[in-house]
């Protein structure tokens, strides 16, 4: 369970509303306040961002171990919680606590940059969006802590999603300009953007999840809710159907851009169902199939299907169910000269002309992705996504002259 705001933070944020107004949009004056918010919401810097989504989402369901008699294996099943008014109030506080933690953490990391970097208009725009969202979150936290009823958390979550929908594109451009001017190195950009991507993914997942819960409660008030989704979590997702759906989308892009499509073939596991967040798995599979399809088109392996293997195993050691997906392509593999760099953030083999197009088309996870190759974010974002899943792991096996195997593994 996440702690919300203790009495000290409550008094500094809630009771003195004039101070909140005074601090708004004033970097130097509000720095200690933001540090105080971060310290309390992170439980004095002990919050692990890699475990945040797992811990947060577990407040919305229970897990059951069920024996599959045919296979003589145990499976993990997610079950919805009954969301009473009191439980929703608790979840509202937990959600806002996480949002305050992420926003304050991002702002402090921006403030650690050199002043000349933050003064770049595109970097500052991102910083300013974070400050405004934090100011709104502080105001909302006062109403929730005082148990007022005139707040609109749903509107706040929606606005937060909209405010930060395209931050990566402009932030990247701004930092690249600062690198040209000698204010920051490529390695520093890579580290900063890696943190930014992971934390903004978390922010969006939390906002999307609780917003979906609130909308679902509103839509089903007084009715039975037959929808099996738990917010953005699918407790029993057919993995092969999701992959097939993604492949149709990728093939549409490939046909438009290359006048070619690449088939897929399931080696095993078409019947496997697994609890997951479809938006996460969809993004990961989209990026991998985009890479594999383009590699096979470049290699003129048009009729050779990409092989998909789906496995589900029960882990006796920690009483968990594990899903593993292997995607094998025949696109001639990764050249040895770039094999060590291919998973580096912001590394791309795309030409500069294609890169300009990808800069416009690149969209953050959870939204439509409509470019075939781009800025080198794909594998970097996949790594960050997989880090957020329960014991997630992503590996690549390269055989130059033959193809690439990509392995995704995570637990229920």
Instruction: Kindly give, in sequence order, each residue whose CB lies less than 8 Å from that of residue 233, ignoring residues fewer than 6 positions away.
Output: 57, 60, 61, 78, 209, 275, 276, 277
Give the relative orientation of helices 167-180 and 121-145 as an angle to the nearest 10 degrees: 140
pLDDT at residue 324 in the model: 95
Higher pLDDT, 318 or 253: 253
pLDDT at residue 344 in the model: 58
pLDDT in tens, 218-276: 877 655 555 789 999 999 999 999 999 999 999 999 999 899 999 999 999 999 999 99
Q: Mean pLDDT throughout 306-334?
A: 88
Would you say the pTM of this structure is higher than 0.85? Answer: no
CA 404/CA 213 separation, integer angstroms:
39
**Domains of the chain, earliest start first:** 7-47+82-219 (1.20.140.20), 234-411 (3.30.565.10)
Higher pLDDT, 150 or 307: 307
pLDDT at residue 167 in the model: 81
* Contact (Cβ atoms closer than 8 angstroms) between residue 190 and residue 346: yes
Higher pLDDT, 347 or 141: 141
DSSP codes joined into one string, 143-207: HHHTT-S---HHHHHHHHHHHTTTHHHHHHHHHHHHHHTTSS-HHHHHHHHHHHHHHHHHHHHHH
DSSP codes joined into one string, 2-36: -----HHHHIIIII-HHHHHHHTT-HHHHHHHHHH
pLDDT in tens, 26-44: 555 577 888 888 988 888 7
Q: Mean pLDDT throughout 282-292?
A: 93
pLDDT in tens, 110-132: 999 999 999 999 999 999 999 99
Closest Cα to residue 68, out of 275, 237, 321? 321
pLDDT in tens, 340-377: 666 555 545 444 344 334 333 333 333 333 333 333 45
CA 388/CA 49 separation, integer angstroms:
8
- The per-residue b/e assignment along 266-294, b for 16 or more CB within 10 angstroms, e otherwise, is beebeebbbbbbebbbbbbbbbbbbbbbb
Tokens coding 321: 């169910």
pLDDT at residue 130 in the model: 95
Q: What are phi and psi of 238, to 5 degrees?
A: -75, 110
The residue assigned the tokens 């953030």 is 345
* Contact (Cβ atoms closer than 8 angstroms) between residue 167 and residue 129: yes
pLDDT at residue 368 in the model: 38
- The yes-or-no verdict on residue 316 having pLDDT over 50 is yes
Indicate the average pLDDT of the chain. Answer: 82
* Contact (Cβ atoms closer than 8 angstroms) between residue 348 and residue 176: no
């Amino acid at each position: 369970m996440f702690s919300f705001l203790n009495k000290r933070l409550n008094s500094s944020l809630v009771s003195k509303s004039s101070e909140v107004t005074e601090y708004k949009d004033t970097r130097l004056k509000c720095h200690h306040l933001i540090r105080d918010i971060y310290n309390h919401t992170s439980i004095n810097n002990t919050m692990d961002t890699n475990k945040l989504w797992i811990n947060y989402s577990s407040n919305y369901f229970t897990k059951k171990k069920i024996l599959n008699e045919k296979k003589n294996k145990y499976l993990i099943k997610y079950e919805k919680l009954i969301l009473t008014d009191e439980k929703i109030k608790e979840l509202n506080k937990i959600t806002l606590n996480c949002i305050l933690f992420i926003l304050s953490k991002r702002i402090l990391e921006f403030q650690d940059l050199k002043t000349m970097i933050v003064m770049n208009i595109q970097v500052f725009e991102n910083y300013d969006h974070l400050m405004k969202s934090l100011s709104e979150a502080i105001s909302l936290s006062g109403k929730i802590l005082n148990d007022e009823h005139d707040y609109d958390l749903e509107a706040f979550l929606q606005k937060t999603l909209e405010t930060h929908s395209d931050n990566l594109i402009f932030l990247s451009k701004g930092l690249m300009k600062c690198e040209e001017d000698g204010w920051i190195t490529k390695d520093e950009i890579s580290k900063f953007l890696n943190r930014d991507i992971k934390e903004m993914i978390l922010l969006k997942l939390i906002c999307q999840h609780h917003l979906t819960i609130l909308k679902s409660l509103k839509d089903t008030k007084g009715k039975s809710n037959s929808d099996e989704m738990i917010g953005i979590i699918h407790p029993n997702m057919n993995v092969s159907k999701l992959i097939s759906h993604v492949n149709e989308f990728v093939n549409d892009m490939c046909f438009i851009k290359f006048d070619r499509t690449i088939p897929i073939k399931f080696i095993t596991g078409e019947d496997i169902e697994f609890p997951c967040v479809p938006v996460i798995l969809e993004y990961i599979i989209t990026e991998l199939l985009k890479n594999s399809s383009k590699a096979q088109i470049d290699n003129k392996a048009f009729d050779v299907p990409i092989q998909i293997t789906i496995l589900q195993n029960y882990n006796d050691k920690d009483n968990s169910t594990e899903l593993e997906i292997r995607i094998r392509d025949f696109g001639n593999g990764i050249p040895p000269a770039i094999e060590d760099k291919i998973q580096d953030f912001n590394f791309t083999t795309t030409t500069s002309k294609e890169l300009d197009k990808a800069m416009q088309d690149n969209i953050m996870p959870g939204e439509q992705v409509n470019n075939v190759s781009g800025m080198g974010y794909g594998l970097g974002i996949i790594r960050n996504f997989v880090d957020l899943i329960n014991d997630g792991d992503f590996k690549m096996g390269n055989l130059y002259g033959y193809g690439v195997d990509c392995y995704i593994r995570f637990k229920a």
